[in-house]
Amino acid sequence: MSFLVEHSNTPINHSFNISGSKSESNRLLILKYIFKNIDIENISNSDDTKVLEQYLKNDSPLIDVHHAGTAMRFLTAYLSTKKNNSFKITGSDRMQNRPIEVLVTALNELGADITYLNNSGFPPLNINGKKLDGGEIFLSSELSSQYITALMLIAPSLKHGLTINLKGPITSKPYIEMTSVILNRIGVKCEFFENKISIKSTHLIKNSIQKVESDWSSLSYFYSIVALSEGSELSIGSYSLNSIQGDKKLVEIYKKLGVETTFKNDVVFIKNNIKPESTQSLELNLSDTPDIAQTIAVTCFGLGLPCDLYGLHTLKIKETDRLKALKIELTKLGAVVKITKDSFHLNKSSEMKSHVSIETYNDHRMAMSFAPLAVCKPIIINNPGVVTKSFPDFWNHLKAMNFLVSKK
């Protein structure tokens, strides 16, 4: 199935709420099932979070996370500590080609019993749960912050806690900082300084209710819509000026693209009332915030602006090779794009082709990052249901903003 997405390109003025952050929700779910006395409010309604919660609830020995990479990594660590229980964990074809060796090696060094069922370094896995003592490990921090977070989340349950020494440049550092903040917030002592993380063994914490802030990466698509739609203004809840989500960088990035942001009473107001700061190439290092790279690239194309985006080495191991996918689909629309193994380069554009079919490659962010271009020209999004991975309400929100979304 495909959606034809169109808009009259009149100013949009709309208010709504977005579900809780997937990243915060997934961390809190693991901690809830370790400590048993955490309640979560405004939990994400994403497929990823539902899959994670499903398998945390039922202790099934056979686990299929489908496309949910976070669930694969977090469950691998969590299940390795479930003494006297055995599990087999697998996922989609793409998941079986996404590396997990860094995490598995670290867990096995801590005493876990995890083996590969097919190809070494990749799911599916066999996990024999054991009581792990913890201690000190050294871990590469260049590939994925989720390996580090998975270890941080189980650290309080380990007999001696855990010290993680990070080797190399730290990718997606704000996500590691988020994990540290959440651990300290619930009562687990966690210190993160330079390249060292220290987490104390903790058996008891106070009862708490943890409210999840809405998801900033989901908000990115609406920043794109406002940037592309002159005179538009959206008010969206619930967001904090002091957010712990790294994707809050959207505020300063989209200011350069003509979007003004203000906060009031946990509502963010985004408005198109300033001209882009420059017609020169937008140059950004997105190693801390790779999830918003596609949205920024597509926004720049829609505005006719060149951009040079760096720090994108993790995009190759996501739901698809996002750099390659971006180049293919933007080129269809008339863009001139160059990519390297870790960067994206877009030339200034003067025209966008109409009614182009965009492949989504089973990648939720491909669908949602391209949809805002309907403000400029009608666009066709193939396999639009893929958005449920992180943002099931996405298409309903577009319809409420007078986008015409019809099946093809």
Beta-ladder partners of 404: 6
Burial environment of residue 41 by CB neighbours within 10 A (0 to 12, 13 to 18, 19 or more): exposed
If DSSP codes are grouped into helix, strand and coil, which group holds residue 257?
Answer: coil
Rounded distance between C-alpha atoms, residue 380 and residue 331, angstroms: 15
Of 144, 139, 167, 172, give the one whose Cα is nearest residue 285.
Answer: 172
CA neighbours within 13 Å on the CB side: how many for 231?
Answer: 4
Could you tell me the two tokens for 388?
A: 């449920």
Is the dihedral angle over the CA atoms 86, 55, 387, 309 positive or is it negative?
A: negative
Let me know: does 152 contact 190? Beta carbons within 8 Å: yes
Looking at residue 292, its amino acid is: I
Paired sense of beta strands 404-407 and 356-358, if any: unpaired
Catalytic member of 113, 291, 308, 342: 291
**207-232 burial code (b ≥16 CB/10 A, e <16):** ebebebbbbbbbbbbbbbbbbbbeeb
Could you give the residue ranges of the DSSP H alpha helices within 135-290? Answer: 145-154, 173-186, 216-228, 250-255
Residue 93 contacts by C-beta under 8 Å, 6 or more apart in sequence? none
Of 62, 65, 52, give the one whose Cα is nearest residue 87.
Answer: 62
- Residue found by looking up tokens 């997937």 in the block: 22
> If residue 166 lies in a helix (H) or strand (E), which one and from where to where?
strand 162-167
User: Catalytic residue at 64?
Assistant: no
Angle between helices 22-35 and 47-58 (to 10 degrees): 10
Of 258, 286, 298, 291, give the one whose Cα is nearest residue 274.
Answer: 258
Rounded distance between C-alpha atoms, residue 211 and residue 290, angstroms: 25
Could you tell me the two tokens for 104?
A: 């598995």
Could you tell me the two tokens for 356?
A: 């182009």
Catalytic residue numbers read: 291
